[in-house]
Amino acid sequence: MCTGKCAKCIAVVLYPLALISIICNILLFFPDWDSKYAQNDDAGKERLTPEVKFMGGLLGGGIMVLVPAIHIHLTSKAGCCANRCGMFLSIGFALLGCCGALYSLSVAAVGLSRGPVCRTLLGGWTRPFDNNGTYLSEPDLWNLVCLEPKNVVEFNVALFATLLATACLELGLCGFQMVNGLFGCLCGTCRGKEDE
């Protein structure tokens, strides 16, 4: 497959992945589909998982991948000198995408391992599962320990796991585009007028 077509395929796959990351991060602000948890309580205690506010999915897996995806998509078009300059620039943009995906991946991994903030049996808001992710193998305890927001553990696990998976895919695709961009820089995009 020629480097121009490969770049276009990579960009087309990165678009929905970036959108999924943005949506997942926004949804994490509304556990139990309620906005009241995004606000601090009367004592100033956080009722939202801190990793949500790091916005790994919105900034890292979303915007920092969406911008390179647009440029990578544009480099797939034919240009002067077989668009070698565009393919060279796509290496830098793909590196930016890798950095964004790594940020999203690390925030999601920390969010998964530390668990959500919730109101426990003792009535306080805390992170009862902050034990390096061992709570993931004990789903029977989730609703017994976390009383509010309802089903917050399942909610966080599903969304952080989705962010983790999309970040891994984004990282792989952006890394592959760096190699593709290098070959495109050396050999051109091999896109002719018949592709326009």
Distance between CA 132 and CA 112 in Å, rounded? 9
The residue ranges of DSSP E strands in the chain, in sequence order, are 118-119, 125-126
pLDDT for the residue 193: 43
Q: Give ∠ CA 138-157-50 in degrees, rounded to 5.
A: 115
Q: What is the pLDDT of residues 23-34, one digit of tens each?
A: 999 999 999 888
Confidence of residue 191 (pLDDT cuts 50, 70, 90): low
pLDDT for the residue 10: 92
What's the rounded mean pLDDT across residues 151-161?
A: 94
How many residues are present in the chain? 196
Distance between CA 171 and CA 94 in Å, rounded? 9
Distance between CA 194 and CA 112 in Å, rounded? 48
3-state secondary structure of 126: strand
- The residue range of the domain holding 46 is 3-195
Paired strand residues for 148: 119
* Average pLDDT over the chain, rounded to an integer: 86
**Cβ-based neighbour number of residue 181 at 10 Å:** 27
Which is more confidently placed, 16 or 44? 16
Question: How many domains would you assign to the chain?
Answer: 1
